Each structure stands twice: as C-alpha cells, then as structure tokens.
Amino acid sequence: MLETQTIVKQITICSDISKIKSVRHLILTEMAGCNFGEESKMAVAVALDECLTNAIKHGNRNNKKLSVEISYKISAGSVEVTIKDQGKGFDWRANAHLSGGESFTGYELGGRGLFMINNMMTSVNYNDAGNQITIIKSNVN
C-alpha cells in the first residue's frame, strides 16, 4: 500500500508583486513532490498568479505595510490554497458571471483573471467579505 503525505503550510507575505514568484515556486515544488501532472501545475500557477496579484493590487492597494496570508494543503488527490488580503473585499456575487457562460465575452475591461481562475480550478470559493479566496485543483496527472 502506497503511503500518501499531506502537506499543510502557511505563509505571510507583504503586498509586493515581486513576492509572487517565490510563493508560486514553493507551492509548485511541493505539488511536484505529490506527483501532480504538468497540466495541473500550470493551472495552479496561473490561478496563484491571478489570485495573489488581485490580493496585492486590488485588495491591499499595493500597500507594502499590509500583508497577504496564504495557506495551502497538498495531498496526492488535490491542492487547496486560501489567499486572504487585508482589504475591504469585493462583491464576488456580482461577478458570478465570470465563472463562464454566455454573459462573459472575454473582451470586458476587467474580470479576465477571475474568469481564468474559475475555469482552471476544480472549485473556487470566497468568504462573505470578498477578501479571501480558496481555490482547489484536483490532481489530474
């Protein structure tokens, strides 16, 4: 019987776009160790970049005194990442059309990042305030 390991970690970064690369690298390295395929790793990389950029730029308004909390859980079956900024949040319910469908063309001025996140992840959930997102990707290798 193959023993599976679950990795659970938390990281806090300041609101600096340059920090995204190291967070992405850390999570993708841990995913590789749990035998995630390239397709799953690429989808998580794109979603992480979008989520962290949104948290830093829109949530914390690029204020380096504010932080972004990232917690993640990686197992052989899935990766779950929660990202929380210190901003006031946004009305994610008003952006429900960004999960796909006929009302989103892709040519809108905003929302393409959310559209990509919703379509690349297995599951996307927000807290009520809209300053926290949890993305889940099932392992497809």
pLDDT digits (tens, 9 = 90+) for 37-67: 999 999 999 999 999 999 999 999 999 999 9
Residue 129 and residue 34: Cα distance in Å, rounded?
Answer: 33
pLDDT confidence of 20, banded at 50, 70, 90? very high
- Label residue 1 exposed, middle or buried (CB < 10 Å: 0-12, 13-18, 19+): exposed
pTM higher than the cut 0.85: yes
**Is residue 98 within 8 Å of residue 38, measured between CB atoms?**
no
**When comparing pLDDT for 112 and 105, which is higher?**
112
What domains appear along the chain, each with residue ranges and CATH number?
A: 7-138 (3.30.565.10)
- For the segment 124-141, what is each residue's pLDDT rounded down to a tens digit? 999 999 999 999 999 976
The β-bridge partners of 7 are 74
Greatest Cα pair distance, the chain, in angstroms, is 51
Confidence of residue 95 (pLDDT cuts 50, 70, 90): confident
- What distance in Å separates the CA atoms of residue 27 and residue 98, rounded to the nearest whole number? 25
The phi-psi region of residue 130 (left if phi > 0; otherwise alpha if psi is between -120 and 50; otherwise beta) is left
